[in-house]
Amino acid sequence: MTQAPQSVGLVTAQCAVFDAPFQLQGGAVLPGFQLMYETYGQMNAERSNAILICHALSGNHHVAGRYTAEDKYPGWWDSMVGPGKPIDTNRFFVVGLNNLGGCHGSTGPASLNPATGKPWGSAFPVVVVNDWVQSQALLADRLGIDKWAAVIGGSLGGMQALRWTVTFPQRVRHCLTIASAPKLTAQNIAFNDVARTAILADPDFHGGDYYDKGVVPRRGLKLARMLGHITYLSDEGMGGKFGRQLKAEGGYQFSYETEFEIESYLRYQGDRFADVFDANTYLLMTKALDYFDPARHFGGSLPKALEATPAKFLVVSFTTDWRFSPERSRETVKALLDAKKSVSYAEIESVHGHDAFLMTDEPYMQLMHAYLNRVAEEVGV
Amino acid sequence: MTQAPQSVGLVTAQCAVFDAPFQLQGGAVLPGFQLMYETYGQMNAERSNAILICHALSGNHHVAGRYTAEDKYPGWWDSMVGPGKPIDTNRFFVVGLNNLGGCHGSTGPASLNPATGKPWGSAFPVVVVNDWVQSQALLADRLGIDKWAAVIGGSLGGMQALRWTVTFPQRVRHCLTIASAPKLTAQNIAFNDVARTAILADPDFHGGDYYDKGVVPRRGLKLARMLGHITYLSDEGMGGKFGRQLKAEGGYQFSYETEFEIESYLRYQGDRFADVFDANTYLLMTKALDYFDPARHFGGSLPKALEATPAKFLVVSFTTDWRFSPERSRETVKALLDAKKSVSYAEIESVHGHDAFLMTDEPYMQLMHAYLNRVAEEVGV
């Protein structure tokens, strides 16, 4: 264990095609679909060492490594996944995928609708967290994985991890739900609704059917991302990083141009996101967040929803996360305790707000390392 | 004091015209301007009982009473101002005005620019809090008020009240700054910038010169208001009022239409606001908020900025206000104590978030009543 953690190196994305019609919870049936995914590490002979990584709102299947040596950035959770890293690819077989409805190669609103030969656009059905879990289970079947050593996710990804234990109680050994919540509050929904309204109101949105119009609703998507970004950072963290610093010297400009550093940063983030992300997928992801409420079909009781699973749980929250505050994680913990489950809970001191789940605060990394070490020992790798 | 508090009854707005050129802090000079204002109660012979009410982002001069008996709503602070109310018009002469740059009759971006005969639009200069204070002082001169018994405001209004004691240290007996802050944080500025970006990006904005185009940037303004509204309410308050309630019975709709009660409420608020408010004024108000930083010209020292005034202070914050949290009010209090000023501070328990300054939580109303009673006794009314 003295070797420095390394990267998984060069990776290749794969595509799993599912031809059978796929029933969604909202009533629609997809005539088959495909999922982009990546794997890192080796499956052991007992097929007991597989870990599923579920992504959040803007994530995808590219979790770790690089596609080419020249890639500027590695996968989105390269800090967590790799040889010697907390999710150790020397021990685990790790699977990352792009969720159904995504915009990184998995079937989504920008994909061709076989019935029309044109992009789905507005005709692509609303997808919920449980639909993702069902589709992920098909991928698990395809890969020959009966039971995950762990299902792990932050934010919306943590919701998928939690939902796995409800839908497939026997197929998860450990559930790690990080910076997440058992359901959204009115304020959470409100933020999502402003983001959606920004996209829906963009004249370039064309009711969702913009793909053949030569435009994309980038103004709306940019606004959605700027707003989202504020809620991912903490007041404290933003203050430390940007404060009231001005972009240029010489004092106030007395104009409505970008002037404070924080404005410049936010608009840049918004623009960059609008360059690479699909607005319809953004709508779909926020709606999946709003709808998530696993207790709903169990008379509103989360303990009842979680009753059937023998899985063990790690719940992690971050002190300055106000999007999904520690209080929300404690709701999950309470439900798990009420359901008499084995649960560990950590509230990590961090200035990084909701984004902390993607960061490398030492206590967080140590916790993940220690917990996953236990998981590895349990499954004998 | 056993008589029930009453309304000030029917009121009439007045207009004060100032013909002299008016130098703004940003460098521009306005060729005169007008301010809409209202007064309630009677000035006493000593002219010592005048109170100035400064409004927040979307407020105006119509503080109390109704214009006609049929008016559905009274002025925006009718709960606070009236006979027997905390700001008691049986004792005080109360002045409310619409700030320079406003859209309720005072000179602003929608007013005619005498140089062109057309609306100012994008040519209307950026105005800062100190410009408002300067213009309010001209109004005070016009009304024969040398020294205010109190200058009172919530949020952006509280910034004006504070700035009065810096710019005109001898003209304020009491400063009441409620749910306010000595300057914005990066997060505050970030929210304002998303609001501005929404307006600036609206195709109907036309660079601010939309008045003769037969359109207004209502999509942008609606978004700005929806976002603002979230930050005025507390997570807790929103949860209590709306929770995850759906608009219609029958469960999820699996569409992107308005579905949760909170969405319906927010969009309605946004639409209503876009009907009555001017987008250029919204830009101007948010920029005044961003720029406010009275310590700036005193080497960054707020105590130094406040040094000169003999005024006494009441600082009020609300427990669930996260737009301008109690912590921000305590910064003001600390600066006042460091400057050896007389300051009272109250942190009021409320579920109403930032909006609490407009609400009638009993401890808040009692505090205001008691404090202003003391002010009244001090000035002999």
B200 in A contact zone (CB under 8 Å): yes
State the best of B29, B191, B227 to mutate against chain A, taking most chain A CBs within 10 Å.
B227
Is residue B225 part of an annotated ligand binding site?
yes
Which residues, 6 or more positions from B296, have their beta carbon under 8 angstroms from its beta carbon? none
Instruction: Please tell me whether residues B192 and B233 are part of one structural domain.
Output: yes
What is the pLDDT of chain B when averaged over all its residues? 97
**What Rg do the C-alpha atoms of chain B give, in angstroms?**
21
Q: What is the pLDDT of residue B313?
A: 98
Instruction: Please tell me whether residues B360 and B327 are part of one structural domain.
Output: yes
Contact: A252, B26; criterion CB under 8 Å? yes
**In a domain? residue A233:** yes
- The CA distance from A41 to A63, in Å, is 13
Of A197, A251, A9, A216, residue with least CA distance to A109:
A216
| Identity of the residue numbered B370 | A
Complex ipTM value: 0.94
Q: What is the largest CA-CA distance in chain B?
A: 67
| Identity of the residue numbered B55 | H
Instruction: Please tell me whether residues A265 and A299 are part of one structural domain.
Output: no
**In a domain? residue A5:** no
For chain A, the first-to-last Cα distance in angstroms comes to 14
* Per-residue pLDDT reduced to its tens digit, A221-254: 999 999 999 999 999 999 999 999 999 888 899 9
Contact: B196, A287; criterion CB under 8 Å? no
Chain A residues with CB under 8 Å of B200 CB are 256
Instruction: Please tell me whether residues A19 and A166 are part of one structural domain.
Output: yes
Contact: A254, B190; criterion CB under 8 Å? no
Domain boundary among B286, B318, B334: B286
Number of domains in chain A: 2
**In a domain? residue B53:** yes
Run of H or E including B22: strand B22-23
Q: What is the mean pLDDT of residues A161-173?
A: 98
Question: Both tokens of residue A217?
Answer: 């609703």
Residue A218 C-alpha, separation from nearest chain B C-alpha, in angstroms: 10
**In a domain? residue B361:** yes
Q: What is the pLDDT of residue A4?
A: 67
Q: What is the pLDDT of residue A25?
A: 97
* Per-residue pLDDT reduced to its tens digit, B27-79: 999 999 999 999 999 999 999 999 999 999 999 999 999 999 999 999 999 99
Structural domain span for residue B272 = 188-286
Instruction: Please tell me whether residues A19 and A96 are part of one structural domain.
Output: yes
Q: Which position has the token pair 């919540």?
A: A181
pLDDT tier at A139, thresholds 50, 70, 90:
very high
**What is the share, in percent, of chain B residues with pLDDT greater than 90?**
97
Chain B residues with CB under 8 Å of A255 CB are 126
Domain boundary among B286, B307, B337: B286
What is the pLDDT of chain A when averaged over all its residues? 97
Assign residue B82 a region (left: φ > 0; alpha: ψ between -120 and 50; beta: otherwise).
Answer: left
Q: Which position has the token pair 């007045």?
A: B14
Residue B3 C-alpha, separation from nearest chain A C-alpha, in angstroms: 41
Instruction: Please tell me whether residues A162 and A22 are part of one structural domain.
Output: yes
Minimal Cα distance from A233: which residue of B? Answer: B187
Minimal Cα distance from A243: which residue of B? Answer: B186
The three-state DSSP-derived secondary structure of chain A is: CCCCCCCCCECCCEEEEECCCEECCCCCEECCEEEEEEEECCCCCCCCCEEEEECCCCCCCCCCCECCCCCCCCCCCCCCEECCCCEECCCCEEEEECCCCCCCCCCCCCCEECCCCEECHHHCCCCCHHHHHHHHHHHHHHHCCCCECEEEEECHHHHHHHHHHHHCHHHECEEEEECCCCCCCHHHHHHHHHHHHHHHCCHHHHHHCCCCCCCCCHHHHHHHHHHHHHHHCCHHHHHHHCCCCECCCCCCCCCCCCCEHHHHHHHHHHHHHHHHCCHHHHHHHHHHHHHCCHHHHHCCCHHHHHCCCCCEEEEEEECCCCCCCHHHHHHHHHHHHHCCCCEEEEEECCCCHHHHHHCCCHHHHHHHHHHHHHHHHHCCC
Chain B residues with CB under 8 Å of A238 CB are 185-187, 190
CB nearest B197 (choices: A226, A238, A287):
A226
**In a domain? residue A305:** yes
What is the DSSP pairing of strand B22-23 with strand B14-18? unpaired
**What Rg do the C-alpha atoms of chain A give, in angstroms?**
21
A45 in B contact zone (CB under 8 Å): no
Instruction: Please tell me whether residues B92 and B174 are part of one structural domain.
Output: yes
Q: What is the mean pLDDT of residues B305-323?
A: 98
Residue B221 C-alpha, separation from nearest chain A C-alpha, in angstroms: 11
Q: What is the pLDDT of residue A1?
A: 44
Instruction: Please tell me whether residues A35 and A143 are part of one structural domain.
Output: yes
Chain A residues with CB under 8 Å of B27 CB are 254
B73 in A contact zone (CB under 8 Å): no
B323 in A contact zone (CB under 8 Å): no
Q: Which position has the token pair 């609400």?
A: B359
Q: What is the mean pLDDT of residues B170-180?
A: 98
A to B CB pairs, distance under 8 Å? 146
Contact: B238, A186; criterion CB under 8 Å? yes
* Per-residue pLDDT reduced to its tens digit, B258-294: 999 999 999 999 999 999 999 999 999 999 999 999 9
Of B77, B99, B159, B96, residue with least CA distance to B324:
B159
Instruction: Please tell me whether residues B148 and B243 are part of one structural domain.
Output: no
Binding residue positions of A = 225, 355
- The CA distance from B164 to B146, in Å, is 13
**Which CATH number covers residue A203?**
1.10.1740.110
Q: What is the mean pLDDT of residues A29-57?
A: 98
A300 in B contact zone (CB under 8 Å): no
Residue B67 C-alpha, separation from nearest chain A C-alpha, in angstroms: 35
CB nearest B193 (choices: A197, A263, A322):
A263
**Which CATH number covers residue A318?**
3.40.50.1820
Minimal Cα distance from B242: which residue of A? Answer: A186
Domain boundary among B286, B316, B333: B286
CA dihedral B199, B201, B207, B209 (to 10 degrees): -50
Minimal Cα distance from B322: which residue of A? Answer: A235
Q: What is the pLDDT of residue B1?
A: 44
Run of H or E including B199: helix B186-200
CB nearest B256 (choices: A191, A270, A283):
A283
Contact: A230, B293; criterion CB under 8 Å? no
A196 in B contact zone (CB under 8 Å): yes
Number of residues assigned to chain B: 381
**At CA B372, angle to CA B370 and CA B374, rounded to 5?**
75
Q: What is the pLDDT of residue B3?
A: 55
Q: What is the mean pLDDT of residues B144-149?
A: 98
Q: How far is CA A153 from CA A59, A95, A263, A288, B343, in A?
A: 11, 12, 30, 15, 49
Q: What is the pLDDT of residue B67?
A: 98
Residue B272 C-alpha, separation from nearest chain A C-alpha, in angstroms: 15
User: Which one of A155, A234, A317, A329 is the catalytic residue?
Assistant: A155
Residue B16 C-alpha, separation from nearest chain A C-alpha, in angstroms: 26
**In a domain? residue A4:** no
Instruction: Please tell me whether residues A254 and A138 are part of one structural domain.
Output: no
Is residue B355 part of an annotated ligand binding site?
yes
- The CA distance from A106 to A109, in Å, is 10
Q: What is the pLDDT of residue B248?
A: 87
Binding residue positions of A for substrate = 225, 355
Instruction: Please tell me whether residues B270 and B319 are part of one structural domain.
Output: no
**In a domain? residue A344:** yes
pTM: 0.96
Instruction: Please tell me whether residues A316 and A231 are part of one structural domain.
Output: no
pLDDT tier at A2, thresholds 50, 70, 90:
very low
Question: Catalytic site residue A202?
Answer: no
**In a domain? residue A155:** yes
